[in-house]
Amino acid sequence: MAEGDWLVADRQTAGRGRQGREWRDGAGNFMGSTVVHLRPGDPAPETLALVAGLALHEVVAPKVRAAVMLKWPNDVLVAGAKLAGILLERAGDAVIVGIGVNLAQAPTVADRPTVSLAALGAEVERDAFAADLARQFAADLDRWRGYGLGPIVRRWSAAGHPPGMALEADDGDDRLSGAFAGLTEGGALQLRLADGSLRVIHAGEVRIA
């Protein structure tokens, strides 16, 4: 696949989310993937999750009246319910960026609330949404490459968790609880624990407490 191209599915029979979870599709929803071919000097590949999140935020926020928030590292929430998810997969010198957005309907998920744009009063046609997202992702990808990670982290911080929000995180070794203390310059999550210490989470599962 050439960079800039998108593969958009009408239906999925074996969709996957983070940590091997099943991703349930729905007719009328957006399920798409694109590829980023890594170049010398690019920021860290995992920060493409921030780029994709920002692109989604830019496209979704004007369509709804409720608050749209990015949840580190890969979800878009509206009024606390999951609207969209992002999954990155490395393939050699390329990163496949997969995105699912509940446009028409929201799947029922046992451990978290979900929402669709239709339920929020925004009737969005799938192909028009795909075109808007492709344009915005291309623009944000150019900024990621041209200006580095600093502006991306600042923009994400404005659209993401407010400072002090209570979070729980599994970083692979420990289950931690604390308050969101911003992102590092490299885009990792900082968690202020109850004892005042600061933990940096580079990868793992994060939940709003």
Q: Could you tell me the two tokens for 130?
A: 């795909």
Low-confidence ranges of the chain (pLDDT < 70): 11-25
Report the alpha-carbon distance of residue 177 to residue 135 in Å, rounded.
37
pLDDT at position 15 is: 52
pTM for this prediction: 0.91
pLDDT at position 173 is: 73
pLDDT at position 174 is: 80
Report the alpha-carbon distance of residue 180 to residue 192 in Å, rounded.
6
Residue 200: strand pairing partners:
190
Count other C-beta atoms under 10 Å from residue 20's C-beta: 6
pLDDT at position 21 is: 52
pLDDT at position 171 is: 74
Backbone angles phi, psi at 91, to 5 degrees: -135, 90
pLDDT at position 191 is: 97
Decide if 137 contacts 36 (C-beta within 8 A).
Answer: no
pLDDT at position 11 is: 65
pLDDT at position 104 is: 96
pLDDT at position 80 is: 92
pLDDT digits (tens, 9 = 90+) for 134-164: 999 999 999 999 999 999 999 999 999 999 9
